[in-house]
Amino acid sequence: MDINFLQHSDEKCIFVIEGISPAIANTIRRLVIDEVPALAIDTVTVSKNSSAMYDEMLAHRLGLIPLITDLKSYARKEECKCEGKGCASCQLVLSLKAEGPATVYSEEIKSKDKAVKPVYGKMPVTKLAKGQEVDVACIAVLGSGKQHAKFSPGLIFYQGVPEFSVESGSKVPVCDIHKSLVSGSKAMKSSDKDRCMLCFDYDRKGITSIPSKESFMFTLESWGQLTCKEILHAAVDAMESKLDSFDKQLKKLKF
């Protein structure tokens, strides 16, 4: 297996993995979407809400606000020492108080942990007219995308790296990323361009392109709770945990 990063930042990364099967590529995708934990508001207690928005809709909007997540400081409730009863290690208390007339933004949510706050401060929560107010208490917990989409840390997709066959004399307009592929080299040049028109146009005159079944280009975009690096590390940890559990179950079997 060989991994090569073409583009990397906290918000977005593009990388190529060579020497894996389509099944492994899809496993990586599903681990990121379904298994990587992130903090999100899970319980909302409404003390006052005289806005035009129903309590249920207000709670729903609060739950979808991405929160900066510190995986080292928090544990899942089912894995916490308190056995799911609720403590500072597995849940975080937040609050929101506001009076109209005003537009209430996510930056007004107060957290008991200064390290955990909304990723984007200017996400509108609700609008308040004169005399209207909201007063809610929230509890955020760690969860995963398979429980609810609000816990999913980002978007990831992949495609087979195109393998090009070019007839002699054909002129091939390509982006920097795939220029080396067309020439027959395995080296990938770094570029801000993460797409090439040849990837999706397989019927150009003199050019044949077939997606590889052993090399895959991944694009990962973080919602902001975790950096791309943290997401990938957490996905690997999740896979190792599942394999360890599988191994323990196998050892219990008697053949």
**Tens digit of each residue's pLDDT (9 = 90 or more) over 12-24:** 999 989 999 999 9
Rounded to two decimals, what is the model's pTM?
Answer: 0.81
Domain map (residue ranges) of the chain:
2-35+153-222, 38-151
Write down the CATH number for the domain with range 38-151: 2.170.120.12
* Residue pLDDT, tens place only, 131-159: 999 999 999 999 999 999 999 999 999 98
94: pLDDT strictly greater than 50: yes
Give the phi and the psi of residue 49 in degrees, each rounded to 5. Answer: -160, 95
Write down the CATH number for the domain with range 2-35+153-222: 3.30.1360.10
Which residues, listed in sequence order, are joined to residue 15 by a DSSP beta bridge? Answer: 5, 218
59: pLDDT strictly greater than 60: yes
| Cα 144 to Cα 140: distance, rounded to the nearest angstrom | 13
7 CB contacts (<8 Å, ≥6 apart)? 13, 14, 190, 191, 192, 194
Please state the length of the chain: 255
H runs (alpha helix) in 22-164: 22-30, 55-63
User: Looking at residue 93, what DSSP letter applies?
Assistant: E
